[in-house]
Structure 1
Amino acid sequence: MKSHQIIAALSPALKKDITSYLQKETREAFRTALYSVGQQKKLRPQYFQNKSREEQGAWLIEQIKTKTFDGVAEQLLQLWLLKGKVDMLTAFLDATGIQHDGKGQVDDLPEELTTEQVEAGVDAMLKTHPAEEVALYLNLFQLQRPGGWSAISEVLEKRTEVKLG
């Protein structure tokens, strides 16, 4: 799945949670994404000034569900995960044995992951996080390496609770 497809597959509630978080906690990044997408759509910044925060978030989500804005979708999802879901990321990385900086940032991704490692990571995340957030993370993690990891693909296919859409 590409980032824009991940966004499209999310529930309305999670989309709203993500945009609300980005608007409150990463205000400048949200505004930059909003105006950048708006500029490509030939909209002036004033277009957004008359909209409520909720309307701005809904508009941005609607736009980044398209292939054109896949890069923006990926950046916003990564930002949400790295800033707002550190405990979920570190739970997965710790359970799979992937070295990280304690905040979910990984310098060297492993060449291979076993199904057992991925299962342990999924179980660790599901203890404290909704299945849809876990599914989002797994799908986005797959994009960090060309072709992803076969073990993650296998777990995503096998475990219905971590399927998006």
Structure 2
Amino acid sequence: MTTPVPEKYDSAPKRRRNTGPKPRLSMSIYGFLVAWLVPNIVMAAIVVILNLLPISDTVGDLTPILTLVGLSGLVLGLPLALLANWLLRHQVNQAVHIMAYAIIGMFYGLTVLTAGGEGLIPLLIPLVGFPAAILMAMGRWAASSFVHVVDPEASAGTDDE
């Protein structure tokens, strides 16, 4: 009895053919400023306006929240926004990027815990996180006009001329 010759499948070469350069999103520096800096400035302005209203007599001074919002935008928001842009650069669907920025905004609420985890302070997490998520998502949506798709196949054809 003879052993049949093993069959070779050509699925591996197909995978190798599809590993060429992929299209990616490219955001200008103006787009990044609109997507990250503008929502952080708006969040700080909202806290300042709330601090100036007469409700500060009953609620108390909101200046520590202003510091938390500013530091969370700089220490947490900036690196995470840059990381999200880099990780999702080959995802050409803008809605995925908008959702990533909303998730980054949700992390802003967790910075409230740096002020201390006792008492009513943990209740401020959604009061900071949800508006930050909405503003960050709106900022990324507004920056969509500063984003363009870089197609490596189209740019490779223009280099030959």
Quickly name the TM-score band, shorter chain normalised: under 0.3
Q: Give the structure with the larger strand fraction.
A: 2
**Normalization by structure 2: what TM-score?**
0.26
Structure with the larger RCO, 1 or 2 (CA within 8 Å, 6+ apart): 2
**Normalization by structure 1: what TM-score?**
0.25
Greater radius of gyration (CA): 2
